[in-house]
């Protein structure tokens, strides 16, 4: 069974904060719609009390050439969903499946390959985040350290600001901010980029100004519009993306990295034996 289909909905969600009030009205319809209807420009314009020109502008902000291309892709991947979800277990599993589908739709394998190459070249790697993103930052440090990456997790805002002083072209900086609004994380990226470091932002928000100080903006699904999104741990979409980057990086020199990983396991087992 094929679980994953490329959907336009995650791209709508990642651009949501860039929309005008009218465009948000259009976005809300396509995000929440669960029925196959007449999606022609004339029909949707009448249904939503907007102009066909507004539909065109909305589609272009989502990255399409026009409404026709947008709606073609929307219809192509549209699946009517049953709202009757019974049982907490099924509700949670369906929410995770929806999240994975959205991750697949946002996935850019060429970008992941570039990031893996940045990791291979960098002398020092820093990953920063606060709150739930800080937990993901710590997890990234632990996983990548075990395969030979010289990586540090930074979750304290003051230390983030101080660390920027020492960054240069030998450094690679990952910033994790689901909202795209954590100023300490953005400051770390801006100042590090200004000093020549490679910078990568992992976020659910697609803002044009990020391109000024980020070499890569990695989009993850927003929990805001996810069905039953309140049951999902906020760091989960970040961890899924980090797993994808990890898998791509390991594949570059699989034998060496798996050997390093096994050696760290043996070192930990040796410590347990001593205790």
How do residues 33-71 score in pLDDT, each as one tens digit? 888 899 999 999 999 999 999 999 999 999 899 999 999
Give which of 203, 204, 199 is closest to 216, Cα–Cα: 199
- Considering the entire predicted model, what is its pTM? 0.72
Determine whether domain 108-270 maps to CATH 3.40.50.300. Answer: no
Query: Percentage of residues in the chain with pLDDT exceeding 90?
Result: 54
The pLDDT score that the predictor gives to residue 244 is 94
Determine whether domain 9-84 maps to CATH 3.40.30.10. Answer: no
The pLDDT score that the predictor gives to residue 6 is 72
Give which of 222, 247, 259, 226 is closest to 92, Cα–Cα: 226
Instruction: Please name the residue that has the structure tokens 């039953």.
Output: 228
> How far apart are alpha carbons 188 and 128 in whole angstroms?
8
> How far apart are alpha carbons 194 and 173 in whole angstroms?
12
Give which of 128, 114, 138 is closest to 164, Cα–Cα: 128
The pLDDT score that the predictor gives to residue 128 is 95
Domain ranges in the chain are: 9-84, 108-270
The pLDDT score that the predictor gives to residue 1 is 38
The pLDDT score that the predictor gives to residue 95 is 78
Mean pLDDT in runs of 10 for the chain (275 residues)? 67 90 94 89 94 94 91 80 61 80 88 94 94 92 91 93 90 94 94 95 92 95 66 84 93 67 64 54
Count of residues making up the chain: 275
């Amino acid at each position: 069974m094929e679980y994953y289909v490329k959907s336009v909905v995650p791209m709508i969600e990642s651009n949501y904060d860039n929309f005008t009030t009218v465009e948000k009205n259009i976005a809300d319809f396509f995000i929440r719609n669960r029925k196959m209807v007449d999606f022609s420009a004339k029909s949707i314009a009448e249904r939503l009390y907007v102009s066909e020109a507004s539909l065109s502008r909305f589609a272009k902000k989502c990255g399409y050439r026009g409404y026709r291309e947008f709606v073609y892709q929307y219809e192509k991947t549209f699946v009517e969903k049953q709202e009757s979800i019974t049982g907490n277990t099924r509700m949670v599993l369906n929410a995770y499946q929806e999240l994975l589908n959205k991750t697949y739709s946002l996935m850019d394998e060429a970008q992941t390959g570039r990031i893996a190459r940045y990791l291979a070249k960098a002398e020092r790697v820093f990953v920063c985040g606060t709150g739930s993103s800080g937990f993901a930052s710590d997890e990234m440090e632990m996983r990548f350290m075990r395969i030979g990456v010289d990586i540090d997790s930074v979750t304290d805002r003051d230390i983030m600001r101080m660390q920027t002083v020492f960054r240069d072209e030998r450094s690679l900086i990952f910033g994790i901010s689901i909202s795209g609004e954590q100023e300490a994380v953005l400051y770390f990226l801006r100042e590090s980029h200004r000093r020549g470091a490679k910078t990568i932002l992992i976020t659910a928000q697609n803002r044009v100004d990020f391109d000024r100080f980020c070499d890569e903006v990695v989009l993850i699904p927003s929990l805001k519009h996810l069905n039953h999104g309140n049951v999902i741990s906020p760091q989960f979409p970040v961890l899924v993306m980090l797993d994808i980057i990890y898998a791509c990086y390991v594949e570059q020199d699989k034998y060496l990295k798996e050997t390093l990983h096994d050696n760290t396991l043996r070192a930990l087992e040796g410590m347990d034996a001593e205790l």
